[in-house]
Amino acid sequence: MANGTEVDFSALILGFCSAALSYMGFGPEKVNRNLMLARQNIEIIELLAKKTAGNLSAEEDKLTQEVLHDLRLKFVDASREG
């Protein structure tokens, strides 16, 4: 990239994670809660995990699985709150 900032797989996963958390009402940004968009971002991470299975480093795989676990738990809690 022109500014020297490299986007890697982990940054991509964390970007979708941040968006999902934001749509669930977590984070500093004032974003309208939207569980449909939160779920969509979680599903994108699940899709990326499935399509890249066997091609990730151990660190990338661990990050992806931990992010998915955390987001799924938070999504259940956010869904219960209505």
* Model pLDDT for residues 15-34, shown as the tens digit of each residue: 999 999 999 998 777 678 99
Cβ within 8 Å of residue 49, ≥6 positions away: 64, 65, 68
Stated pTM of the model = 0.87
pLDDT mean over 58-75: 97
Distance CA 60, CA 50 (A): 13
The more confident residue out of 7 and 20 is 20
Is 4 contained in some domain? no
Domain encompassing residue 42: 9-81
Is 32 contained in some domain? yes
Mean pLDDT of the chain: 91
The total number of structural domains in the chain stands at 1
Give the model's pLDDT for residue 81: 80
How many residues appear in the chain? 82
Cβ within 8 Å of residue 4, ≥6 positions away: none
Q: Where are the alpha helices (DSSP H) in 4-57?
A: 9-23, 35-51
Q: At what angle do helices 9-23 and 35-51 cross, to 10 degrees?
A: 160
